[in-house]
Amino acid sequence: DVPATIQYFHSLLEEQAKLLIILVSGTSGWETLWKKYGSAFPLDDVCSYVSSADIKRILDSAGLKCQLHELPSHMDITSCFIEGSKDGEMLLDFLTETCEFCKTAPPELKRQVMEELRKPECSQERDGKVLFNNNLSVIVIEP
C-alpha cells in the first residue's frame, strides 16, 4: 500500500526533516517496458511496478509538497541483440525479471520486448551501442 506507506513516513517528519525517495524515473525505459509488458512477466503477480510518476500522482492527490530531481543514467544493453550472447541473455533476464527469458518467453513476446527495447522511449543508439534509459528520480518530500 504505497499511499499509506508514504503517509505513515510523512507523519513521522519533524519540522525541518525531509522524506527522501529514490526510485526509477517515470521517464525511464523501465517505465515504458514495464507499463507495456509487465503483466506478461512472472513477477507481475508478486509485486507491482511503481515509478516516480506514480509517486508524484500519489503525493499530488494527498496534497503533499515535494521536489523532483532526475538522475540521468544509462545501461549498455547492446549484447541483448547479439544472438547467443550469455551476457545479453542475463541482461534480458534482469530487464524482464524473468529467469531464462530468452528460453521461456513465447516467441511473440520476446520479439515485441526486443523491438520495444530499441525504441527511443526505452533506449538510444550511440556509437554502435544500445543504451537503455536507466534514469532515476529523487523525490524530496516536505513535512
Chain segment 128-142, per-residue pLDDT in tens: 999 999 999 999 999
The mean pLDDT of 66-88, rounded to a whole number, is 96
Cβ neighbours of residue 48 under 8 Å, at least 6 residues apart? none
47 pLDDT band (50/70/90 cuts)? low
Question: pLDDT at residue 9 above 70?
Answer: yes
Distance CA 66, CA 20 (A): 10
Question: pLDDT at residue 41 above 80?
Answer: no
Q: What is the CATH number that goes with domain 2-141?
A: 3.40.50.150
pLDDT for the residue numbered 43: 56
**Domain chopping of the chain, boundaries:** 2-141
Chain segment 94-139, per-residue pLDDT in tens: 999 889 999 999 999 999 999 999 999 999 999 999 999 999 999 9
Q: What is the pTM of this model?
A: 0.82
Closest CA to 125 of 133, 113, 135, 136: 133
